[in-house]
Amino acid sequence: MDMFDLKHQTAVISGAARGLGLAFAETLASAGCNIAVLDILPQPSSALHELGSQHNVKVKYYSIDITVRDHVVSTLSKIVQDFGRVDININAAGVVSDESFLTTSDKNLQRTFAINVNGFFLVAQACANVMVEQYKSQHGDVPAKDATTGSIVFIASIATYIASTAQQISCYTASKAAIKGLVKPVAMELSRYGIRVNSLSPGYTMTDMMRGLQTEQPDLVKQFEKETLFGRIALPQELKGAILWLCSSKASGWYTGQDLLLDGGATSWKHPAVLN
């Protein structure tokens, strides 16, 4: 039995038009999973559409605002019509602004929480409702004992473990802490339906956003590199094993209500250098 075989399953991934979310989509597609992507961009990276032919899976893109409940609910209905089911949900959409706590604007506060918290909540809630209906159609309302109906993964952040002198992101950090706070109670509520709920906290990773910082704030990226035990920033593919493990009920069926930290050791030691 291949523990990482996701054939005939469907994953709903928010924020996968590009960046880390796209890397997660590539990972699940390579395991045979069909992919439904939710993102605000009008069009995704061409690499997303190529996944279908590369891995012989179904891939569809839905351009929506995940902060609007009606948009999320109607889009999930379309996904069920298009794919027939939902087995996995990865919440990877997110925004971050470098802004002092003392001067954090209402605009930053509202936008960050609307996307990073409300959007995650709404998408996960809609996906969970589909998963629960799938469970009930097979098992009735009897609590699960050995059934594994689905997996929900929230993308959190290293920022909730350690404050970096390199950035002023209190608003973003608070939003990610709120997401981590969802994991245990939601895992408890959904366990009766065989649904696992976890979060993944990546460390500094070479996403599209990080490449932009390399150009705009090279000293900042150098600081990030100094903070890891390997002296470098992670590549997106180095997170693929973790996300595949979290999504595969065959591999991590006994893992729920937890946060998985993947940070290159950055939170394991006292950093000798700080950004002036």
Q: Which residues are catalytic?
A: 157, 172, 176
Q: 259-262 and 88-91: which strand pairing?
A: unpaired
Sheet (strand 150-155) strand order: 59-63, 34-39, 10-14, 88-91, 150-155, 195-202, 259-262
Structure tokens at 89: 């949900």
CA 116, 117, 119, 125 torsion: positive or negative? positive
Residue 218 tokens read as: 């090279």
Q: How far apart are CA 9 and CA 134, in angstroms?
A: 13
> At which residue do the structure tokens 């999930």 appear?
76
Q: Contact, 16 vs 39, CB < 8 A?
A: yes
Strand residue runs (E) in the chain:
10-14, 34-39, 59-63, 88-91, 150-155, 195-202, 259-262
Query: Are 100 and 26 spatial neighbours (Cβ–Cβ below 8 Å)?
Result: no
Return all residues near 195 (Cβ < 8 A) that are at least 6 apart. Answer: 128, 131, 132, 135, 149, 150, 151, 152
* SS3 state of residue 169: coil
